[in-house]
């Protein structure tokens, strides 16, 4: 599968999202942060906007649902055109059922964990998922500093995936930059969400290439 770079549009120009996505043709996915001002203290996009965005690009959309009612609303994002939908285990009543529903409707299913949420209680769920997201900042806002304390959890998650011999991707999100992506890749991540690092660059697509190269150099498991 190799390294994948997934720019977050949270740091893009909301008034011109179609044009902003057009600036990153080298992206593997476009990361869409969905926030409800309840699970996290911020309010962003809903399925109507996501559907409109999906019609402007061929790059697949990766929806990160930072909402309280993912059990009831996740499928709306599949229907809106997302190729991958991530729910937070802290806000999901039935994660296995939800993952199976997402997959049965044709999208990849992913589970996210906040920095303080351990991976160990969910080891038996990993085979039900297409991706696990380890948050490396507290979810809610872009531009935060990377939390090194999450690196051991990334390593433990990678060890669990390797031990089970499954192809579930391991994503990190939060403070990913040229300075931090190597540490994440070395710890075992293979999918990287980068918002500020990409959209604050003079050439966002060139930054994607630089992030990819840095991660590939540091990744021992590839």
**Whole-number percent of the chain with pLDDT over 90:** 82
CATH number at residue 90: 3.20.20.70
Distance CA 70, CA 92 (A): 6
Q: For residue 35, is it within any domain?
A: yes
Please name which of 133, 148, 162 lies closest in space to residue 64, comparing C-alpha atoms. 133
pLDDT at residue 108 greater than cutoff 80: yes
Confidence grade of residue 189 (pLDDT, cut at 50, 70, 90):
very high
In angstroms, the Cα distances linking 23 to 56, 58, 77, 193, 213 are 12, 13, 23, 16, 19
> CB neighbours of 180 closer than 8 A, spacing ≥ 6?
136, 146
Domain span at 20: 8-169
Q: Which sequence positions are flagged as catalytic? A: 33, 173
Residue 145 pLDDT: 86
pLDDT at residue 207 greater than cutoff 70: yes
Range 157-178 average pLDDT:
96
Q: For residue 92, is it within any domain?
A: yes
Q: Give, in degrees to the nearest 5, the angle at Cα 162 between 159 and 163.
A: 80
Q: For residue 3, is it within any domain?
A: no
Task: For residue range 125-147, list pLDDT tens digits in order.
Answer: 999 999 999 999 987 666 678 89
Residue 56 pLDDT: 92
Q: For residue 208, is it within any domain?
A: no
Determine the 3-state secondary structure of 72 from DSSP.
helix
Write the burial class of residue 163 (CB in 10 Å: 0-12 exposed, 13-18 middle, 19+ buried). Answer: exposed
Distance CA 170, CA 149 (A): 17
Domains in the chain: how many in total?
Answer: 1
């Amino acid at each position: 599968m190799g390294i994948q770079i997934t720019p977050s549009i949270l740091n893009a120009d909301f008034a011109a999202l179609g044009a902003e996505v057009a600036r990153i043709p080298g992206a593997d996915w476009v990361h869409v942060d969905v926030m409800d001002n309840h699970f996290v203290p911020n309010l962003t996009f809903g399925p109507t906007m996501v559907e409109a965005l999906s019609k402007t690009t061929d790059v697949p959309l990766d929806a990160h649902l930072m909402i309280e009612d993912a059990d009831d609303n996740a499928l709306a994002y599949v229907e809106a055109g997302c190729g991958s939908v991530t729910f937070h285990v802290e806000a999901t009543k039935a994660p296995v059922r939800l993952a199976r529903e997402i997959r049965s409707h044709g999208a990849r299913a992913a589970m996210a964990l906040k920095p303080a949420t351990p991976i160990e209680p969910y080891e038996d769920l990993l085979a039900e998922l297409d991706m696990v997201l380890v948050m490396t900042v507290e979810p809610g806002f872009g531009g935060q500093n990377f939390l090194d304390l999450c690196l051991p959890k990334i390593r433990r998650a990678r060890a669990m995936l390797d031990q089970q011999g499954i192809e579930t991707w391991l994503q990190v999100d939060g403070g990913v930059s040229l300075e931090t992506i190597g540490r994440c890749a070395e710890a075992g991540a293979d999918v990287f969400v980068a918002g500020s690092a990409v959209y604050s660059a003079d050439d966002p697509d060139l930054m994607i290439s630089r992030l990819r190269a840095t991660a590939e150099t540091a990744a021992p498991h590839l």
